[in-house]
Structure 1
Amino acid sequence: MEQLQPIRRGRLADLPGGWQAQYRALLTTAEEAAELTELSAPAAVSGAACWPEKYDAALARRLLREDARIELDALFMLHPTELMGPACREHVTCNSDFFAMERAFAAQGNLHYVPAHLGRTGAWLASREPKTVVAAVSPPNEEGWMSRSLWAGTLNRCVFDRPGVRLIAVVNRNLPFICSGGEEHTLLHVSEVDAIVEDDFQPTESTVPPPDETDQQIAGYIAELVPDGACIQFGLGGLANAVGSCLAYAGKRNLGLHTEVLTNCVMELVEKGVITGAKKQLLPGKLVTSHIVGDRALWRFAADNPKVCLKEVSWTNEPRNICRNDNVVSINNAMEIDLTGQVNAETVGPRQYSGTGGQLEWVVGSQWSRGGKSIIALRSAYRDRNGQLHSKIVPRLADGSAVTTPRSCVQYVATEYGVADLRYKSVVQRAQALIEIAHPDFRAELRRSISC
């Protein structure tokens, strides 16, 4: 690993005896870490598989015991937590800029959505001026560096490299050390932290249903748009897995990866020799990502893998970095799209379902790339609880829907019925192109809507 230098000075940075002595001196319990938490200011914690479970439970007990309140800023919760349980409803206000389990908590009334691009998550967290930052990390390597691991990218250094912040590291032997380096790396040195809690909780695995026939049909059209040597960005879900399978089946060669999330399908493409990174201009040969979302097989693949380079999401999702690679192909999902090309990828009407995420950052960055392409993928239709079929290509978005990607930025749209290229087309031409890839049961109705 390249020689990195600690930037932040932790509470015992000057203690003699090296990082090992500092580690022993910083070691504390979850209860003591909860007592160190400043309740008069927000606390920011790492999310997803890196949620600090012992600390979460200890802080919940303190809040209930003292009848106190705190603001919690985090994102992408994967399982129920003590702090977000009903007992703490009057004691915790939580903000998130991307929903997973948050969808269930939102009904309690103490969890609120923050509209923000994923690449700006660190800036958003820093803007709340937290006094306590809790990061789950891997055990230190021989030089004293700990990895922010599976959910590294959003708890950026800008969140805890501020005066008056207490940085608590939750060291977990079940979290893999993921290689990182250079600008906006995701490593923490023991000398940079103010307290250490050991908590070997089992990280939550993320699995997705296998792709179905519709996913495979959409993926087939997408694979046709990906040339050999392209640098790809995947999202989450069954469709991403289907695209991976189609890329392998089509015999694509020397693909690269620069993405915000590394998933199992990427691992499989690397193992099949489809992704090599040989044609990349930025960090050639590296699997560049800011999050790792999958199962234990993926974690074993990523652990200490020199091909993987974990970066803060402000770096991976910066369009000016994305376009430093040629032939970037970004692939993102949508929930619905209107006939002018406006994309909703995050709400069901006014109800927040996921988040703005990095979609627009990738749409812009891929199209800035020389030879790049942006693809928005969605099923043409869905069935409601009563079995009634509804089109996902609509004359206008449902009332209250968010516009995740504006129509002026949309390029390719793919459904199981084909691909529409919207770039530089008039609103009438866009509508006509989208109707051609809509579900056949709705095409006549959609044509009538543009003739009114």
Structure 2
Amino acid sequence: MTTYEIKPVRRGRLAGTGDWRQQYAALRVSAEEAAAQIHNGDAVAMPGAASWPYAADAALTRRLRQSGGKIELDGLFTPTDTVLLQPENRDLVEYYVNFLSGDRALIPQGNVHFVPTHLSEDGAWICARHPRVTVITCTPPDENGWMSRSISASHLDRDVLEQSELVIAEVNSNLPVLSTDGEYHHLVHVSEVDAIVESDHALAENVPTPTTELDRQIAGHIAEMVPDGACIQLGLGGLPNAIGECLAYAGKKDLGMHTEVVTNCVMELMRRGVVNNSRKQVCPGRTVGTLCVGDRELWEFCDGNDQLCFREVKWVNNPRIICQNDGVVSINNAVEIDLTGQVNAESIGDRMYSGTGGQLEWVTGAQWSRGGKSIIALRSSYVDKQGVRHSKIRPQLTPGSIVTTPRTMVQYVATEYGVVNLKYKSTRERARALISIAHPDFRKELEKQMPL
């Protein structure tokens, strides 16, 4: 990580007064003092997941309870153990979010508002909410005064920081320093912030999801489609983990990685030498990502590792950047798909489950890549709580479902029964292809409902 080429942009409260060490000492305040600078009615942006600012969260909640104030909270991946969003505080906070995880359980409270956007637009939609305050979490400063925004804060990009009147940095020594560079780096300088709160809160770990036999069957089909030298993108969950295992077992060589999220699976592929990034065009020799989701072992692997390069999500997920790599293979999950090829990857009927995320960005970037391909993967069916099996390949999407990827952009679709290519096929050809990889129990019924 070379910070000498990067210059501070935002002018914090003490920018230009003494050196960064003097500024750091003068900016250091208690969480209560920082929270006192947040006003009733403010829009406040915060990072999520393992980067959640727990000290600021608790202090701000106490302040709002005492004052009877109310704020708007803008973010995503907000952990369920945040104090601000507990049911008893629902009158204190209006929460705006563009991707749900565990916080989907908070929707019944009535103060959760979903914002449909692509993940690369994280900074843009937060800027559109006009937050007066941004709270970030970061590592202690290096010898030059630079702090890493670390594992899950890239959505609070430079535009959000520069627009905010008040930037509070919660410094946590448990956070790993992520290697980064370029215009869309993950760093923030002491001189760019207005207050510093020190915290040693333990990081929330995500244990890797176990793979199932169905995952391994689907992964086997997908691994066959990944040639040596390809540049891959993997997501979260048991299926991506199974794909990683299959790629290693199949002896794939010289794979590159340009991906949204770096996981334990990515770590293992790098350790085994399956991913060495030797043939990449963008950041050759380095795995590119924008956030980390995993456990302590992953944090330790990523800490100071120059084989990785983390940048803001608006750069990493930009299809115009993705496609500069040759042979991109993007692999994304789906909740269901209809016989015309429309993909729902974010809702269960009309109930939001996750969000648009980066799926369409990766589908587009992969197909724009020379020799690239995009793959939508899903299990052919599921069994409900009553023990009844249902097809995930349907004549029409479940009423109220969201179309995440339009049929015009869908290329390969994989289930445990095989892989089909829908690109440039007629609606009936698409339907026949999808029926061929549907669960056998539903194929005859699907044939009766084929589109024209």
Q: Would you say same fold, with TM above 0.5?
A: yes
Cα shift at 1:208: 3.4
Aligned length: 450
Which residue number corresponds to residue 395 of structure 2? 395
Cα shift at 1:247: 0.3
Cα shift at 1:165: 1.6
1:388/1:208 CA distance change after superposition, 3 Å: farther
> In the alignment, is the contact (CA less than 8 A) between 1:170 and 1:196 conserved in 2?
yes
> In the alignment, is the contact (CA less than 8 A) between 2:80 and 2:103 conserved in 1?
no
SS in structure 1 at match of 2:26: helix
> In the alignment, is the contact (CA less than 8 A) between 2:341 and 2:406 conserved in 1?
yes
Note the 1:366-405 alignment, pairs <5 A. Answer: 366-405=366-405
Cα shift at 1:39: 2.8
Amino acid at match of 1:414: A
Cα shift at 1:139: 1.0
Cα shift at 1:112: 1.2
SS in structure 1 at match of 2:450: helix
Residues 324-382 of structure 1: CA deviation (Å, up to 9, x unaligned): 10000000000000000000000000000011000000000000000000000000000
Which residue number corresponds to residue 265 of structure 1? 265
Note the 1:122-137 alignment, pairs <5 A. Answer: 122-137=123-138
Residues 199-239 of structure 1: CA deviation (Å, up to 9, x unaligned): 11111111233101000000000101101000000000010
Q: Does 1:237 align with 2:237?
A: yes
Q: Which runs of 5+ in 2 are unaligned?
A: none
Q: Does 1:252 align with 2:245?
A: no
> In the alignment, is the contact (CA less than 8 A) between 1:153 and 1:291 conserved in 2?
yes
Amino acid at match of 1:317: N
Cα distance in 2 between the residues matched to 1:288 and 1:79 = 28
Note the 1:13-92 alignment, pairs <5 A. Answer: 13-16=15-18, 18-92=19-93
Cα shift at 1:318: 0.4
Q: Which runs of 5+ in 1 are unaligned?
A: none
SS in structure 2 at match of 1:376: strand
Which residue number corresponds to residue 113 of structure 2? 112
Amino acid at match of 1:368: W
Cα distance in 2 between the residues matched to 1:334 and 1:394 = 13
Which residue number corresponds to residue 450 of structure 1? 450
> In the alignment, is the contact (CA less than 8 A) between 2:428 and 2:451 conserved in 1?
no
Cα distance in 1 between the residues matched to 2:317 and 2:436 = 32
Which residue number corresponds to residue 8 of structure 2? 6
Percent identity reads 57
Which residue number corresponds to residue 166 of structure 1? 166
SS in structure 2 at match of 1:325: coil
Amino acid at match of 2:371: G
Amino acid at match of 1:10: G
Moved over 4 A (4+): none
Cα shift at 1:78: 2.8
> In the alignment, is the contact (CA less than 8 A) between 1:102 and 1:111 conserved in 2?
no
Cα distance in 2 between the residues matched to 1:380 and 1:265 = 24
Which residue number corresponds to residue 197 of structure 1? 197
1:382/1:39 CA distance change after superposition, 3 Å: same
> In the alignment, is the contact (CA less than 8 A) between 1:80 and 1:101 conserved in 2?
no
Which residue number corresponds to residue 353 of structure 2? 353
Cα distance in 2 between the residues matched to 1:189 and 1:450 = 58
Cα distance in 2 between the residues matched to 1:153 and 1:329 = 23
Cα distance in 1 between the residues matched to 2:157 and 2:232 = 24
Cα distance in 2 between the residues matched to 1:307 and 1:39 = 44
Amino acid at match of 1:394: R
Residues 262-307 of structure 1: CA deviation (Å, up to 9, x unaligned): 0001100011000000000011011110000000000000000011
Amino acid at match of 2:377: A
